[in-house]
Structure 1
Amino acid sequence: MTGRYVALGSSMAAGPGIRPRASGAPLAAGRSAGNYAHLVARQLSHDLVDVTFSGATTANVLTERQHGAPPQVSALTGAEDLVTVTIGGNDVGYVPYLVAAGLPAWVRSVPVVGRAVRGQLDVAARDAALAAVGESLRTVGRELRRRAPTARVLFVDYLTLVPPAGTAEVPFTEEQLHTAQRISDTLEQLTAAAAADTGCELVRAGDAGRAHHPWSDAPWTTRFGLPLPGRPAPLHPNAAGMRAVADLIIGQLA
């Protein structure tokens, strides 16, 4: 089976820190040769164009350059057999909220840095971003369908980052966990709605990963902590998670 496959999205698709790094990828992209797109392409013998980029928002997919890279949809030619996209979390500040929540409380009083941390923890700001991202996701779906009319277009939602309430060793308060879970659930629902409304398909990575949160016995994502060279980025998929998502995609395509 051979076809053109274009992978789009943010760090949740790029796989920062998962070795080896994708050949020729910009360093800022954090793009791994072990991300789900590469695994799918190898197994299905697809010709992969991977333009996933850490930090990407829906605007970077659609219209805005990122670190010199053109908008991700510019990679589409209309000859695609498969398109995948994981996007939206950076629009709503999902991982930045978790990072800010995991920092010691005293950091919030540090000049400049503290203001940024408090901004990420602003629940009203997160809610406003969630209210806006649904239409942005639908715009992504419509544009992918327009540019790749004969492809199977798959929205792939986010693997689970938030553990159940009461989980030991978690650096978040119960209130912060509740807010993070609400962000996660809403983003998942909005992604599903965008896929349904625009004639795209949905891969439910979040649903499959519920029992594989970072504090589980078999995690597919990493815990909060300091970024370390050669290790998957904190609060992001690990190699097992990328393999699991690739298997979900391959199963759906079959």
Structure 2
Amino acid sequence: MPAHRDRTAAIFGAVISPGSRYVALGSSFAAGSGVKPRLDKASGRSQRNYAHLVAEALELDLVDVTYSGATTANVLSESQNDAPPQLGAIGPETELVTVTIGGNDLDYIGTFIRGSLMNTLARPVGLIAKRLGNRIRARVSYLKDQSEYDAAADSLTEIATQIRKSAPRSRILLVDYLTLVGPGTRPRLDVPLNEEQLPSVVMMAEGLAAAFAKAAERTDAELITASSASLDHAVGSPEPWTTGFRFVPFGGVPYHPNEAGMRAVADLIVNHLRANP
């Protein structure tokens, strides 16, 4: 086990016993957008997101303030629609906090969806006018500057720091993002990116995972690496933990955790807590 987790258990290691207050923070990858049954339309929160599954398994008192589309600013200081900053749910009695946020700061999923949409539109156009098809594809940039990943790491660090101030004895789990593009992912109908674009999506995912790792190391928060655990469960794998792209109205939420993915993340968290009481 990494040394920073040992220190967390020694210094802040609240025992997560039945009835403990558990607060879940994050964006759609935590809220469970598209996973039924839905609890709230505005937030996209699912009754079967990983927070609810963890709370059910460990008999915890859950406060779920995850919200689809949230950025780190919506956790720290900015309201989202009618929802106040998510950190407001943290108090001295909080014993467990999970955090999955940062992807929207980088427009990670948004870029993937727009690229897939543009490629899907460009395919029939390109059969008639190749140059126009290429122009449509080129409207999406997959490149991010390192400063953007550094900013995400800084924001995650600030979130963990503020949680610690509000709930000094809480267990803080930074839960990174499930993998969308794995080693075996190839261009296909539900991943309509080409061989040049797919590696750029992988680079974004790796940059986001590195931001979580940096924040965990800086703050002694505990790191749940859903990204590495799901490498063999990307879109196109025999047992995917995320959805692919669908170019149809009401076709679900593309490139987000499915029910199996939510269960897998919940299992990672529960197993981690049971192994590190």
So what's the TM-score if we normalise by structure 1? 0.89
Contact 1:13 1:37 in 2 (8 A): yes
Q: Does 1:239 align with 2:259?
A: yes
Displacement of 1:205 in angstroms is 0.6
Pairing 1:136–2:150 present: no
Query: Tell me, what secondary structure is at the counterpart of 1:34?
Result: coil
Residue 74 (structure 2) aligns with:
60
- CA 1:209–1:6 in structure 2 vs 1: closer, same or farther (change >3 Å)? same
Structure 1 residue aligned with 2:98:
84
Query: In 2, are the aligned partners of 1:92 and 1:126 still within 8 Å (CA)?
Result: no
The more displaced of 95-104 and 204-213 is: 95-104
Which stretch shifts more, 13-22 or 131-140? 131-140
Q: Distance in 2 between matches of 1:106 and 1:205?
A: 29
| 1:156 aligned residue (175, 196, 205) | 175
Question: Partner residue of 1:17?
Answer: 34
Shift of 1:132: 2.0
Deviations 1:45-78 (A, max 9, x none): 1010000000000000000000110000001111
- Say if 1:72 and 1:62 are closer, same or farther in 2 by CA, change over 3 A: same
Name the SS of the counterpart of 1:29 in structure 2: coil
Shift of 1:153: 0.5
Aligned to 2:24: 7
TM-score between both structures, scaled by the size of structure 2? 0.82
Q: Which amino acid aligns with 1:248?
A: L
1:177 pairs with one of 198, 201, 216: 198
Question: 2:49 is matched with which residue?
Answer: 35
Counterpart contact for 2:117–2:247, Cα < 8 Å? no
Q: Which amino acid aligns with 1:133?
A: A
Amino acid at match of 1:238: N
Task: Give the 3 Å change call, closer, same or farther, for CA 124–177 of structure 1 in structure 2.
Answer: closer
Of 228, 239, 247, 1:207 maps to 228
Question: Structure 2: 5+ residue runs without aligned partners?
Answer: 1-17, 126-134
Aligned-residue offset at 1:165? 6.2
Structure 2 match to 1:145: 164
Structure-2 separation of matches of 1:136 and 1:118: 30
Structure 1: how far apart are the matches of 2:83 and 2:248? 24
What letter corresponds to residue 28 of structure 1 in structure 2? A
Percent same amino acid among aligned pairs?
47
When Rg is computed on C-alpha atoms for both structures, the one with the higher figure is 2
Secondary structure of 1:159's counterpart equals coil
Quote the Cα distance in structure 1 between the aligned partners of 2:106 and 2:34.
23
Gaps of 5+ in 1: 110-114
1:232 Cα deviation after fit: 4.9
